[in-house]
Structures are given as structure tokens and as C-alpha cells.
Amino acid sequence: MATTAGGRKLGRVMPTGRVLAIIVPFIVLLVVGGGTWYLYGALNPPPKQQPIAFPHPVHVETLQLDCQFCHRGAAIGPAATVPAVEQCMFCHKVAVTDRPEVQKLRAAWEKKEPIDWLRVYRMPDTVRFVHEAHIQAGFDCAVCHGNVGQQQVVQHARDLRMGDCVTCHRVNEAPTDCTTCHY
Amino acid sequence: MPKWGMLVDLDRCSGCRACVAACQIENNVPINTEEIVNQRRGIQWIRIERYWEGTEYPAAKVRNGAMLCQHCRNAPCEPVCPVYATYHNSEGLNTQIYNRCIGTRYCANNDPYNVRFFNYWEPQWPESYYHYLNPDVTVRSKGVMEKCTFCVQRIRRTERQAKREGRALKDGDVQPACVQACPTDALVFGDISDTGSRVSRLAQDKRHFRVLESLGTDPVVFYLKKVDPQHVGDAAKQPAAH
């Protein structure tokens, strides 16, 4: 009986075991890789393009401004707060008025419009994070926010999920009762 | 560590419901429409219960009583939670952790006071009301249980304020919204582990009782009985401690 090359049974060419040996690693790679990619994305959200390209390095590193010079709420309340346009104009009425980004600021000031800064750090709605308590306890802003003076565009510097918070609270003997943050 | 507790003087309560309104606003409690209330799914962390005695005018009497979470030291709602979303914390608060709650409603079913409320729907407010929401309180979403917290956000805020000023908490520093709103001073809030606090002293009054005490729930909300002027007896002769 003559057998052509194409007449061979598939099972002969690719035994089930070998098929699995090829496919399974692919699936595992897909799942592990996809999971890692997803987690990496979740932990490192892409930097947000702010309406005005505000350079933290110039203000923090070069000018040596204190964080709380602009983020005035940090030591006295729950929210650190983003400065009002008026706060920026405190200096920029006279300082570097020729830069295009500063002129955007001046335009907003003249139109009496707020600038819609995009929020980079936001806790879930069930969390009541209070800046004041952490600043009063003597923590530097950089503990959670990283070295903002090196970030041209502000990005997440730390995990800041509940495990991260609780670990730090345990180490520093801060309260870990649920109602410390959740209410 | 203080142990928070409350006292309701029924002799002073006029049933005006200012406490109810204050609580709804302070704690972002959803608006109860007629339809929702008719379905018995209305949410009121504190409510005024009204009881009538007699039917005709001179004889008819109304009795008002505030009912809120009793923050029982032996709370029936706590051990039935399968996910530990409700528990007793070191300050004597019966807590409800919204992000842990999975909405089994066991706690509400095992609660003899009817002071736990389930969110059957996503809370809705008219558009303009969203600006009135309290940023210090979580807006609860559909599928979680909620209840009186003794305004824990106010406790935390006052604690921070005291710390900032470098002092300990004083009696009367912490006032939940209902206590602050009460025009007749019928509600008193304070530390019941401090025998000198106003709430502790008032709870020693002869008129004191606790609701459904026979169940052994050991509530920390104390009530002072209403004295009936027609039956002035020993209780009326005792001067009020206010």
C-alpha cells in the first residue's frame, strides 16, 4: 500500500504530548506576562499631562521652596491642597513672566479662571487620609511622594495600597484600628 | 482611651427631629423618598420614635424617644458578620467598615434595635446636593450596610485638634451632629469610662434605663425616663443633674 507524504496521520506527526508541551508554556507565559504587565500598569499609572507644564524641579531643587509654601493645607488639615492661581501669581506677577507656560498662568489669572490641574494621588473613596497627622508626626513628604524635586512630571513613587499603609503604621506604632482611616 | 457613650433625656426631648436632619446632612445619608420608606428601606441613623397614649385630647399623650445605634458592648450584630466588617473597637464604638462589608445583612437581621440599614440602591441626590456632601464621610454605595458611627469623623477631627494644641480631650469637646443640633439639650455625649464626665454623672440619675436591657446587649446609650406630671412621685422630687 502506497503512502503519500500527506497521508500520514496527524497523530503520528504531532503526538498529543508534544502539542501540550508547546501550547502550555505559551499559556503560562501569557498569563504570567499579562498579569505582570497589568500589575505594573496598575502600580505605575502613566504620567498625567498637566494643563500647564509645571516644573517641580525648578521650584523644589533650584529655588529650594518648601513643599508647604504652595501645598498649604498639608500641616493643618486632611488635604495638602493644590495652590490657587493667586498663590502662583504671588511670585509670577514679577518672576519669569516671559515663559510661555507662565503666560498660560497669567492668562488664567486675567480671565479669573482656575487651572484644572489633574490629580496624581487619589485614595479610594473609602479612605480618609489625613496629611496633617503624618506631617505632625514628623514624616517628610518624600516618604510617600518620592523626590518630587527630581520629577519633571509627577508620578507615583510608592505603592500606597492598604498593605503599604498598614506596614508603615505597624513599624511606627501608629494606630491600626480600621476607623483610623475608614469611616 | 475613652469609651464613648450617649445619654438621651426623654423628659427634655420634644420630638423636633433636629437630630435626624443634622445626622442626615453630616453623614451623607441618602434621601428617603416616600416610595423607599413605604418599602421599609428608609435609612435614618437616628430616628424619633413616637408613641401615643390615649385617644382624646386631654387624655392623649405623646411620647418621643430617640433611637440610634446603641453601640452595645455585647453587640448581637458583631459576631454574625462573616467578614469582620463590624467589630467593637478600643474606643467602644461599634464600627462598620464599608469597604470590607459584602452585604450579607446578617448583622441587621440579628440587630434588635433596627438601627442598621442596608443600601439597596446606589444613593442618589439632586445634582446640586452633591456640593453639600460631607467630604469627611464615605458615600456608601449599593450593597453595603451602614449605621450610626457616633460621628467618628468628628471624634478624629477633635483628636487631631487637641493634639495640635498639645492638650488632652476635654469632656464636651466631641459632639456628634445630633448632640450639637439638639435644641433642648436632651442628647449628651461623652466618655463613659470617665466617672466625672457629664454623660456618666447623668447616667447615675434615678430615671435611667437602657432599651431592651433584658437582652443582655449592654448598650452604652443611656435613657432617662420621662416624668409624667400627673403622677409626680419620687422621681420628680429628685433635682435634675443638668
pLDDT, mean of residues B191-199:
94
Closest chain A C-alpha to B9 CA, distance in angstroms: 28
User: What element of type H or E holds A25?
Assistant: helix A16-43
User: What element of type H or E holds B224?
Assistant: strand B221-224
CA distance linking residue B187 with residue B150, whole number of Å? 12
Rg of chain B on CA atoms, in Å: 19
3-class DSSP assignment, residue B61 = strand
Residue B43 grid cell: 435609612
Query: Is 90 exceeded by the pLDDT of residue A134?
Result: yes
CA distance linking residue A34 with residue A44, whole number of Å? 15
Range in A77-91, B189-203, B227-241 the model is least confident about: B227-241
Chain A residues inside the 8 Å CB shell of B164: 76, 132, 136
Match 433625656 to its residue by C-alpha cell. B9
| pLDDT, tens digit (0-9, with 9 covering 90-100), for A45-66 | 667 788 999 999 999 999 999 9
| pLDDT, tens digit (0-9, with 9 covering 90-100), for A82-96 | 999 999 999 999 999
pLDDT band with cut points at 50, 70 and 90 for residue A1 = very low
pLDDT, mean of residues B204-229:
92
pLDDT, mean of residues B164-185:
94
Could you tell me which residues are beta bridge partners of residue B66? B48
Mean pLDDT rounded to a whole number for chain B: 91
Residue B167 grid cell: 492638650
Span between the terminal Cα atoms of chain A, in Å: 82
Query: Is 90 exceeded by the pLDDT of residue B80?
Result: yes
| Residues in B 119-178 with any Cβ partner in A closer than 8 A | 135-139, 149, 152-153, 156, 160, 163-164
**Per-position b or e across B125-142, b if 16+ CB within 10 A of its CB:** eeeeeeeeeeebbbbbee
**Under a CB-based contact definition with an 8 Å cutoff, are residues B50 and B172 in contact?**
no
Residue A81 grid cell: 491642597
Match 433611637 to its residue by C-alpha cell. B67
Range in A91-95, B4-8, B118-122, B227-231 the model is least confident about: B227-231
Task: Answer whether A19 touches B (CB < 8 Å).
Answer: no
**Closest C-alpha among A136, A120, A21 to residue A78:** A136
User: What element of type H or E holds A113?
Assistant: none
The phi-psi region of residue B150 (left if phi > 0; otherwise alpha if psi is between -120 and 50; otherwise beta) is left
pLDDT band with cut points at 50, 70 and 90 for residue B62 = confident
Query: Is 90 exceeded by the pLDDT of residue A42?
Result: no
Residue A41 grid cell: 500598569
Residue B180 grid cell: 450639637
Return the half-sphere exposure (C-beta side, CA atoms, 13 A cut-off) of residue A163.
2
| Per-residue confidence (pLDDT) for residue A10, from 0 to 100 | 53
Rounded to the nearest 10 degrees, the angle between the axes of helix A100-110 and helix A85-92 is 120
> Does the beta-carbon distance from B87 to A182 stay under 8 Å?
no
Closest chain A C-alpha to B240 CA, distance in angstroms: 36
Closest chain B C-alpha to A125 CA, distance in angstroms: 6
3-class DSSP assignment, residue A118 = coil
Sign of CA dihedral A72, A139, A41, A153: positive
**CATH 3.30.70.20, applies to B4-234:** yes
**Per-position b or e across A13-50, b if 16+ CB within 10 A of its CB:** eeeeeeeeeeeeeeeeeeeeeeeeeeeeeeeeeeeeee
**Closest C-alpha among B20, B92, B161 to residue A179:** B92
3-class DSSP assignment, residue B86 = strand
**Under a CB-based contact definition with an 8 Å cutoff, are residues A120 and A155 in contact?**
yes
Nearest CA in chain B to A180: B156
pLDDT, mean of residues A128-147:
93
Nearest CA in chain A to B149: A183
Query: Is 70 exceeded by the pLDDT of residue B33?
Result: yes
For A126, which of B91, B99, B156 is closest by C-beta distance? Answer: B99
Cβ neighbours of B196 (radius 10 Å) = 9
Match 511622594 to its residue by C-alpha cell. A145
